[in-house]
Amino acid sequence: MASLLLSTSPSHLYNISPRHRIPSLHSIPALKPFKRPNFSPVLSHPKLATHVVYHRTIAKSSSIGSRETEDPIPEESPLGEDSAAFQLSAQKLSSWVYFTVILGSVLFALNVLWIDPSTGFGTAFVDSISSISGSPEVTMLLLMAIFATVHSGLASLRDPGEKLIGKRAFRVLFAGISLPLAMSTVVYFINHRYDGTQLWKIQTVPGLHELVWLSSFVSFFFLYPSTFNLLEVAAVDEPKMHLWETGIMRITRHPQMVGQVIWCLAHTLWIGNTVAISASVGLILHHLFGVWNGDRRLAIRYGKSFEVIKKRTSVIPFAAILDGRQELPTDYYKEFLRLPYVAVTILTLGAYFAHPLMQSSSYNLHW
């Protein structure tokens, strides 16, 4: 067999005709020099940059026997998402129809199961908490503590909860428990906001009403970044844990905390009693815990990408801008000229003019 192979020409052995044989080196055309691909457009895309960095890190550390390493991430490269980005052409009419149906269903269920005294549990719940102490300040703090524990507790259990029952089901569970507790706390505050000990009364001071109104208006721009993804709030789209980076996030990494502090200070100044102070203390403590817990959860989810964004943003408003860690683009105002911020403006004005209706509805519940 060996002699047969040695005596057989390669062309006969492999049945290669002369015209199919490998050409000589002189007949091969010169190869063009390799050009390194430009990944800048990908890295500049706000929704892809984080994933590129993540997969690049995984790919480098996934070989057998290699230790986990990470590529250095340039401090100036965008890693987070473009907050409040909204493209009308990307919206589906069916999604917003589902959103409307879900919102209506949730409000109907909330009324039947919680608000309506004849069928709901809301009155019994508030009465049971009020019976613990005759003090409206203590009741206010207890309602806040129950809501904060449930809300932050479920948020901390989001990752294992989503793995257990799915992202949409966990969002429904989260909202179904948190919403009635939040409503009970708000209604109790409206009904009892003037029941405490009056510490100061300066509502007649010229310009104070305008100051409180303006502060409350500004606070809503910080309070509701959830309007960036309303379809996810209602679980129409699959809920995600977002790493926002632009817009209000350039001013503060925790806008809800800042907005809540502004709202609490404005309303405490206006009301001036112990109930307002107890409500403000509870709300601010809850949101300060949310600052720590939110950073912790984002660090677990996004790792190095979050650490980079954390370095170039701040919790205290404008701190990162003033010390040079955050550089505002020249057209920064355009990051606010978007539909979600328009929606916040309309809802804020609507809430202000609806104050009499909100107060009368709360009084009718007798919570």
pLDDT tens-digit map of 104-137: 999 999 999 999 999 999 999 999 999 998 899 9
Q: What is the pLDDT of residue 76?
A: 53
Average pLDDT, the chain: 82
Residue 141 CB coordination number (10 Å) = 17
Amino acid present at 94: S
In the chain, % of residues over pLDDT 90: 60
Locate all alpha helices (DSSP H) within 131-207, ordered by sequence.
136-156, 158-165, 167-192
Which of 35-49, 214-228, 313-327 is predicted least confidently? 35-49
Contacts of 363 (CB under 8 A, 6+ apart): 190, 191
Q: What is the pLDDT of residue 67?
A: 38
Q: Which own/partner pairs from 177-180 qualify as long-range (CB within 8 Å, at least 24 positions apart)?
A: 177/150, 178/147, 178/150, 178/151, 178/154, 179/106, 179/110, 180/110, 180/113, 180/114, 180/121, 180/122, 180/125
The pair phi, psi for residue 104, each rounded to 5°, is -65, -40
Q: What is the pLDDT of residue 226?
A: 58
As to burial, measured by CB atoms within 10 angstroms (0-12 exposed, 13-18 middle, 19+ buried), residue 125 is middle
The residue with greater pLDDT, 206 or 21, is: 206
User: Tokens representing 6?
Assistant: 């040695």
Q: Please say whether the beta carbons of 326 and 209 come within 8 A.
A: no
Q: Please say whether the beta carbons of 50 and 305 come within 8 A.
A: yes
Amino acid present at 366: H
User: Tokens representing 14?
Assistant: 């492999």
Give per-residue pLDDT as tens, 293-345. Answer: 999 999 999 999 999 999 999 999 999 999 999 999 999 999 988 888 888 89
Q: Evaluate if residue 14 carries a pLDDT over 60.
A: no
pTM over 0.85: no
Q: Please say whether the beta carbons of 320 and 326 come within 8 A.
A: yes
CB-based burial, 197-208: b 16+ in 10 Å, e otherwise: eeeeeeeeeeee
Q: Evaluate if residue 284 carries a pLDDT over 90.
A: yes
Q: What is the pLDDT of residue 86?
A: 82
Q: Which of 185, 164, 68, 205 is nearest to 122 (CA)?
A: 185
* Alpha carbon distance 305, 310 (integer Å): 9
Specify the 3-state DSSP secondary structure of 273: strand
Q: What is the pLDDT of residue 155?
A: 94
* Alpha carbon distance 363, 193 (integer Å): 12
Split at pLDDT 50, 70, 90, the class of 77 is low
* Alpha carbon distance 211, 258 (integer Å): 17
* Alpha carbon distance 173, 177 (integer Å): 6
* Alpha carbon distance 306, 269 (integer Å): 36
